[in-house]
Structure 1
């Protein structure tokens, strides 16, 4: 709009061998070792240092004025290149690393996940030419990593695996590990706490990373808390919602998820399987990394019935329609899992792009699975764009209160 696990990185390999007339014996191979931070780190290049006063001004201009009083430090930012797994192979990806300067004690590490990005030049690693708002967490005293995600930054030649759980989690977890290695090499000390935070696609990616950290001890990471906003975690529920409305505000998200799934899973289906003319022919060029969402939206339509082919639109409204797609949406959602770390969900009740109900249903699923430390903060009347500021204003002091 995201555990289906990548075979070469996550799955337990079990091989049952050697049958004989007397019987058979099974033998389990050891679980493959996860790559270390040293294995994953490629490079880090200083991009800029932002003084405290400049960060406060930037926060105010960008609409994050509530952050200004929390900005206490100059911060240096680095473009970092590291490796993560895509289709079973390690590829180079990138992100931004922000380090606060002259903190009175060792800071915590925070990974912040950005919202949906279409244009390559808006990748977080291009800071200060681009700005997500999450860079301010470094000025507030957290060593902050902001992954670009696969398909952006140095991996811009790859179609974005949008709302794919395994690659989403991997881009975050691998950057955390690579950053921890680099910080150690530079004698930059961080404390034991690790926080995750994200909004929109970043909320989904944050939840994927949280699940991976909490369920795979081989990473050697312990999560302190997570804050996740408007992430579309219940993907079947989201598409059911799209099929039920006459107008959907951000059709670019629909194009990106289907285009991304088609490439990520090797379906090789023509876009005309999903989209009507003239939209099907436009989509590859619209998603080529040179256009922003505001460039893309006028080239599509907000009417799902007009955007999708009649057959595909009908399939979205039925439980048995498009079974392969439906299974992937189920695999990439979070049913049956209960977060262990303190977790705050945030969502605007008037969100027109990622429906509020997806957070309601996700919370109910977590509670049914036994979660006791997850809450949902409803931002009354909040739209998809307007809800990020109140979320960040609430999440920052909460995370600071847990940084002990």
Structure 2
């Protein structure tokens, strides 16, 4: 969920990466589908740049991000970053379009030749309207490229409806059915363009994502399964799978870091889908923030500017005198705050009276979009990875609860693997010992407790959960 820093890829790194290749013009023979139908490929993918292993390595090293290569391994393949647009739907089923990236490996290394596995990757929360997974200038895209495409995976990475060139005036954030359809539509469209960009896929399809993307990737695995599309395996990383209960936790006062960003994204998503989260924004939001908040995120204005100009509070989700206020969560109570106490009290009252059968519109929407209320069991294996001290997407409430849910549904223990990267290796044969050891070193180098807290979800966990995911996929 958290706005991802992906700090291992610095501004200097992405500047160098942007200079490593030139954009190509669309093929003269591009095949256009202007129907806007879900899964339609609007035009043949366009190559933006190609990076050789040497160029990619040099750029990362020059920018001081060589430590990332210690996690991902040295690049083996050339990577061509392709941009594409596809038809999909919004949260209320309205026709729209979105864009994304297709990373295609190439080169002489055996890992880069012949039919390659496909990874459908779902990105984490971003406040940047211009987020573009087709560009190595995006830090998350660069990490995914280094981790997967440079090692021989064809990566399909949607930007989602509401981002980049999408005309949808909002993002259907954590809308289970829409987000699942969105990324599956992207995969469907991308496959239609594979031949034009020399992307030759084998029969293996993997699905993964981080944070918001972990939720989306699990939703996509479910949707593909229900549609009868074979998925080889999934790796869902630090996702808010247990959305309804997680929301109850936040409103109880145990607020997650970044809640003042996630709340407007989620509330607007549900309001545009169901129309009943509030009568007007001022019913939910304090007057200081109510005007314009429905169109605030995602934004072309930098996040820091939104915070420093008073468009959003940095941490104060609730009023200073709003109760309950659990010890240790005082940071999230203050003035000016985002959510009105009257609205919070209504949510809390419903949670008290109707804990498992919500009636308040916000709780109804959250539980409706909860991956653990869908009465489904994965037919393909999955890895659930995160860190136990995550202050943004609580590990126990989401990852551990998801494992317990699937176990209760009769899913064999070996079919759903849980990895806490913030734990000691169980033995010298622990298959995740390198990810755990690497995380421990990175955590120790991050600084004091406050620095670790700030870096935990958006910087420390992502490389190591992605490395674990790649290792997990390698067994199939």
What TM bracket, shorter-length normalisation?
0.7 to 0.9
3-state SS of the aligned residue for 1:391? helix
Distance 1:154 1:116, change over 3 A: same
The residue that corresponds to 2:271 in the other structure is 262
Distance 1:85 1:288 in 2: 18
User: Which of 449, 453, 457 is 1:384 aligned to?
Assistant: 457
The residue that corresponds to 1:45 in the other structure is 46
Task: Report deviation, 1:140.
Answer: 1.4
Query: Unaligned 5+ residue runs, structure 1?
Result: 2-34
Distance 1:396 1:249 in 2: 28
User: Which of 385, 388, 391 is 1:346 aligned to?
Assistant: 385
Task: Report deviation, 1:342.
Answer: 1.2
3-state SS of the aligned residue for 1:94? strand
The farther-off stretch of 68-77 and 282-291 is: 282-291
Distance 1:41 1:401 in 2: 35
Distance 1:71 1:315, change over 3 A: farther
Distance 2:207 2:78 in 1: 22
* Count of residue pairs brought into register by the alignment: 364
Distance 1:283 1:230, change over 3 A: same
Q: Please tell me whether the aligned partners of residues 203 and 228 of structure 1 are also in contact (alpha carbons under 8 angstroms).
A: yes
1:368 maps to 2:408: yes
Distance 1:282 1:300, change over 3 A: farther
Distance 1:377 1:370, change over 3 A: same
The residue that corresponds to 2:202 in the other structure is 191
3-state SS of the aligned residue for 1:42? coil
Task: Report deviation, 1:380.
Answer: 1.7
The farther-off stretch of 75-84 and 88-97 is: 88-97
Task: Report deviation, 1:43.
Answer: 3.1
1:155 maps to 2:166: yes
Task: Report deviation, 1:263.
Answer: 1.8
Q: Deviations over 1:357-380 (max 9, x none)?
A: 211111111111122211211122
Distance 2:239 2:94 in 1: 27
Q: Deviations over 1:319-341 (max 9, x none)?
A: 24762222221221122221121
Q: Please tell me whether the aligned partners of residues 210 and 238 of structure 2 are also in contact (alpha carbons under 8 angstroms).
A: yes
3-state SS of the aligned residue for 2:473? helix
Task: Report deviation, 1:55.
Answer: 2.5
Could you tell me the TM-score, scaled by structure 1's length? 0.83
The residue that corresponds to 1:302 in the other structure is 315
Task: Report deviation, 1:205.
Answer: 0.6
3-state SS of the aligned residue for 1:209? helix
3-state SS of the aligned residue for 2:465? helix
Runs of 4+ residues over 6 Å off in structure 1: none
Distance 1:65 1:245, change over 3 A: farther
